[in-house]
Amino acid sequence: MPRLAYAFREAWQARRSQTGQHDCGPQHDLALGEEKASVQAVGGQGTGEQDAPTTIDAAEKAFDSRLTPKKRLFLALALVLVAFLSFMLGKYAMSPLEVVQTVWYSLGGDLPAPDPARELVLYNIRLPRILVVMMVGAALSVAGASYQGMFKNPLTSPDLLGASAGASLGACLALLLSLGGEAVQLFAFIGGMLAVGMAVWLNKFVDYDPTLGLVLAGILVSTLFQSGMSLVKFMADANDKLPTITFWLMGSFSAIDRTDLVRCMVPMLVGFALLVSQSWKLNVLSFGDEEARSMGVNTRRTRLLVIFASTLVTSVSVAVAGIVGWIGLVIPHLARAVVGPNYRVLLPTSMFIGAIYLLLVDDIARLLATVEIPIGILTAIMGVPFFVFIFKHNMRGWR
C-alpha cells in the first residue's frame, strides 16, 4: 500500500499541475519526500529513480479502466435497444414498424398520419415513463456507487443515511393530508434532506471515527423515520388513505406523466453532474483520509458534496416512484465487475447499467400479470439472488 499510495499521489500531483492547481505548501512537500524515501526503501531492488516509474505504472494499472471501446458501444446499444423494446411492449402493443413510422411522422417525415391513439400512448404515456425509469435507475445506481466508494463498504446503499426513509415519511404525510402530486414530491424531497441533515448533525458527536459515526447516525435516523411511517399508516383511514400509502411505498411508475418528467429532470441532472465531478476524489479517498488530505483534497467538503448529491437524486427518485430497493446495492457491484474500481468510469457505467436494468424490470412489471406489479417487489425478488452471485464473484476489489 505505501508504494501504491505514493504512486497515486505522484499521478495526482501531475494532474493538479496540468490543471494549474498548487500543492498544499511545505508540509505537503515534506510529507511527499518522506513517502518517496519510504518507497525507495521498500523491496531493496534498484534505486529510487528506477522504482518510481514502476510504482507509478502499478498505480495506473490498479486504477486502470477495463471500459474498452467495445464495452462502451455495447452499453450504448443495449440502452437504445431496451428503450426501443419498452416503447413496443405494454397493454397497447406496437410493432417496431409502427413505432418508427409514428416517430418519423412526428419529425416531419412524408408518411400517412398514424393512429391518434398510438401517438397518445407513445408520447404521453410511454415516453415520459421510459425517461423517468432510466433516470431513476441511473440515480439509484450512481448514488449507491458513490456511497460505497466514500465509505469503502460494499454493503452501502443510497438509503444508508436515511434518505429513502425520510423521503418516504414525507410522501406519506402528504398522502395522509390528501395533497396533490406536486406536494407529495416536495414533501418527499424535504423529508430525505431532513433525514440526511439529522444524520450529519448526529455525526458531530462522534469524535473517534467520523465514517463509522455517520453510518450509525444513518441507522438511527432511518429507524426513527420508519417508526414515523408506521405511525402515519396507523393514523390513516383504513378504507381510503391506508391502501394508497401502502401501494405507493411498494414503488410504481404507472402514474408517470410529462409533468413528473419535467419536475425530476433538473434536480437529477444537477445531482449527476456533482457526483461525476467528484469521481477523481473518490479514487483518492479509497486510500484513506490522511492520504487524501496530503494530496490536497478537502475530505470534509468532498463527503458533504457526495452526500448532498446522492441524497438529492435518491429523494427525487423516491418522490416520483416510491421505494425501489436493491438497485443502489446490486448495480454498482456489477459495474465494478465490468470496468474496475476507477470511479471516473465506474460512476457513468453504473448509470448506464442501472438505467438498462430498471427498464427491463419495469417491462416485466407491466407484462407479467394482468394488473401491473409494484416494481419494488420485483427489484427485491430479482436483486437478492443477483446480489448473492455478484457478491460471491466480485469481492477481490474490496479486500
Q: Is there a contact between 314 and 135 (Cβ–Cβ < 8 Å)?
A: no
Cβ within 8 Å of residue 399, ≥6 positions away: none
Last residue of a domain, one of 38, 62, 86: 62
If one counts every other C-beta atom within 10 angstroms of the C-beta of residue 133, the result is 26
pLDDT means per 10 residues, the chain with 399 residues, are: 49 53 43 42 40 44 70 95 94 90 84 84 94 97 91 78 89 88 82 88 77 82 94 90 89 90 92 94 83 84 90 90 90 90 93 97 92 92 82 57
Last residue of a domain, one of 47, 62, 77: 62
User: How high is the pLDDT of residue 64?
Assistant: 58
Q: Same domain for 54 and 152?
A: no
Contact 7, 59 (CB under 8 A): yes
Q: Which three cell numbers stand for residue 160?
A: 444508508
Q: What is the pLDDT of residue 337?
A: 87
Q: What angle do CA 378, 240, 232 make, to 5 degrees?
A: 75
**Residues 2 and 85 occupy one common structural domain:** no
Judge contact between 302 and 362, C-beta under 8 A: no
| Domain that includes residue 257, residue range | 65-398
Q: What percentage of the chain's residues is helix, strand, coil (to nearest 5)?
A: 75, 0, 25
Quote the cell numbers at residue 390. Answer: 455478484
DSSP-based three-state secondary structure for 305: helix
Q: Give the CA angle between residues 319, 133, 94 to the nearest 5°.
A: 135
Q: What is the CATH number of the domain that holds 87?
A: 1.10.3470.10
Environment class of 283 (CB within 10 Å of its CB; exposed 0-12, middle 13-18, buried 19+): buried
Number of domains, the chain: 2
Instruction: Determine contact, residues 366/372, Cβ cutoff 8 Å.
Output: yes
Residues 107 and 215 in one domain: yes
22 and 154 co-located in one domain = no
Per-residue pLDDT at 113: 75
Do 18 and 32 fall within a single domain? yes
69 and 53 in a common domain: no
Domain check: are 30 and 128 in the same one? no
Contact between 253 and 378 under an 8 Å Cβ cutoff? The reply is no
196 and 315 housed in the same domain: yes
* Phi, psi of 330, rounded to the nearest 5 degrees: -85, -50
Burial class (CB in 10 A: 0-12, 13-18, 19+), 240: exposed
Predicted confidence at residue 16, as pLDDT, reads 52
336: CB partners within 8 A, 6+ apart: 145, 346, 394, 397
- What's the pLDDT score for residue 207? 72
Specify whether 192 is located in the same domain as 291. Answer: yes
Same domain, 3 and 116: no
Residue with cell 477523481: 280
- Domain end point (choices 42, 62, 82): 62
**Which of 273, 255, 366 shows the shortest CA–CA distance to 313?**
273
Reference 278, options 212, 213, 348; nearest CA is: 348
Q: Are residues 51 and 177 in the same domain?
A: no
> Considering the entire predicted model, what is its pTM?
0.82
Residues 186 and 308 in one domain: yes
The per-residue pLDDT for range 188-238, each reduced to its tens digit, is 889 988 998 898 888 888 776 766 777 888 889 999 999 999 999 999 988
